[in-house]
């Protein structure tokens, strides 16, 4: 019980703590003035529309994975499961993934473990995509980062000390060796056995993508998902008077940093997303990255971009709750027929 409480409480405390730290270190009056006079909110209607399509493409991609294991859920059901995933993640980090796997497994009378395996591969694909984007973006924006580090020599010195520290390389080497040992180990220790099984399952789940039918569609949907994410942020620059001049590379930097921020296990990126965006904007001269006083304009961009997306997720979550309730009632009454998973499905 204590472990479960800490699992949900610690991410919430981290997120609230980061957000509170940001709020007390920004001039709230200037921040509110910026939100009133420097923002064209009409852009957020288009951003919301693009955001919904990213969920649709994610559902289409997940359908390929589920069909590969003979689970053929209707597309509208999968779309709602994606809506619900992100809404539930606002309550507890990663709770949405557990919920959507449970919902689909229950509705389609399928193996929960198999559904979880498909979801893990889905998330691993996202992780690989972020890493590829990060490497690509770093090479494009290296001049901007060098200029930023020259402006903040104390940050440059700390980063250099970390990168050249024997402790850093020692920990990295030990981690790699430990992971290799886990993969090859057949230890009977319960903890080691669980870790070994988890790593093997993760690898098998990811490797299965290369063997399934429709893998080129899988790649296409992945590009469309992340393309929608990027377009949302690119359109957001037009909503703020002080970000109009940011180029594609600058938005790529914000995009990658915010993706890492969303990857930190807080409630829907609370706090971590904001700090990542503020840092990214400071690299391109919008405000300064000074934790004793965050820039009001950069803070307004982060808060509104995150806040309006969150409002949309709450609305979609309410819609999903209503849809799931009606869907279950229709299944119980026999108005909707669900065929048991297991037969070979058609792509």
Cβ-based neighbours of 72, under 8 Å, separated by 6 or more: 66, 108, 339, 341, 345, 346
Task: State whether the Cα torsion 144-145-146-147 is positive or negative.
Answer: positive
Query: Where exactly are the structural domains of the chain?
Result: 18-149+215-333
pLDDT of residue 194: 66
Cβ-based neighbours of 167, under 8 Å, separated by 6 or more: none
For residue 294, the cross-strand partners are 26
pLDDT of residue 344: 45
Q: Let me know the angle formed at the C-alpha of 321 by 319 and 325, rounded to the nearest 5 degrees.
A: 120
Q: How many angstroms separate the CA atoms of 295 and 73, rounded?
A: 47
Task: State whether the Cα torsion 217-223-224-229 is positive or negative.
Answer: positive
- Contact (CB, 8 A) for 227 and 57: no
Q: Mind listing the pLDDT tens digit of every residue in the chain (347 residues)?
A: 555 555 556 666 666 666 677 777 777 888 888 888 899 999 999 999 999 999 999 999 999 988 887 888 999 999 999 999 999 888 887 788 889 999 998 998 888 888 888 888 888 889 889 999 999 998 888 887 777 666 666 666 676 677 777 878 888 888 778 767 665 665 566 666 666 666 665 565 566 666 677 788 999 999 999 999 999 999 999 999 999 989 999 999 999 999 888 877 777 777 888 888 988 898 888 877 766 667 888 889 988 999 888 999 999 999 999 999 998 888 888 877 776 655 444 33
């Amino acid at each position: 019980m204590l472990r479960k409480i800490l699992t949900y409480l610690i991410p919430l405390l981290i997120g609230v703590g980061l957000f509170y730290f940001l709020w007390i270190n920004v001039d709230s009056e200037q921040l509110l003035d910026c939100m009133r006079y420097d923002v064209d909110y009409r852009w957020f209607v288009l951003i919301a529309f693009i955001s919904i399509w990213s969920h649709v493409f994610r559902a289409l991609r997940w359908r390929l994975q589920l069909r590969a294991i003979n689970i053929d859920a209707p597309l509208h059901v999968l779309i709602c499961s994606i809506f619900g995933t992100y809404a539930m993640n606002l309550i507890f980090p990663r709770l949405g993934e557990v919920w959507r796997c449970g919902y689909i497994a229950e509705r389609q009378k399928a193996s929960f473990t198999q559904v979880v395996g498909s979801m893990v591969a889905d998330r691993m694909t996202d992780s690989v995509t972020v890493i590829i984007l990060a490497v690509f973006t770093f090479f494009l924006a290296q001049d901007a980062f060098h200029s930023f580090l020259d402006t903040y020599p104390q940050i440059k010195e700390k980063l250099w000390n970390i990168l050249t520290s024997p402790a850093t390389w020692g920990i990295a080497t030990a981690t790699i060796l430990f992971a290799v040992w886990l993969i090859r180990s057949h230890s009977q220790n319960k903890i080691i056995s669980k870790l070994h099984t988890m790593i093997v399952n993760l690898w098998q789940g990811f490797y299965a993508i290369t063997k399934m039918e429709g893998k080129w569609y899988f790649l296409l949907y992945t590009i469309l998902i992340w393309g929608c994410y990027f377009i949302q942020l690119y359109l957001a620059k037009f909503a703020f008077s002080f970000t109009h001049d940011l180029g594609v590379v600058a938005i790529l930097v914000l995009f990658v940093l915010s993706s890492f921020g969303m990857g930190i296990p807080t409630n829907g990126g609370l706090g971590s997303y904001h700090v990542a965006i503020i840092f990214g904007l400071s690299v391109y001269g919008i405000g300064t990255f000074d934790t004793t006083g965050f820039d009001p304009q950069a803070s307004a961009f982060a808060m509104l971009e995150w806040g309006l997306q969150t409002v949309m997720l709450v609305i979609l979550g309410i819609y999903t709750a209503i849809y799931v309730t009606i869907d279950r009632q229709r299944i119980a009454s026999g108005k909707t027929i669900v065929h048991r998973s297991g037969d070979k499905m058609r792509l």
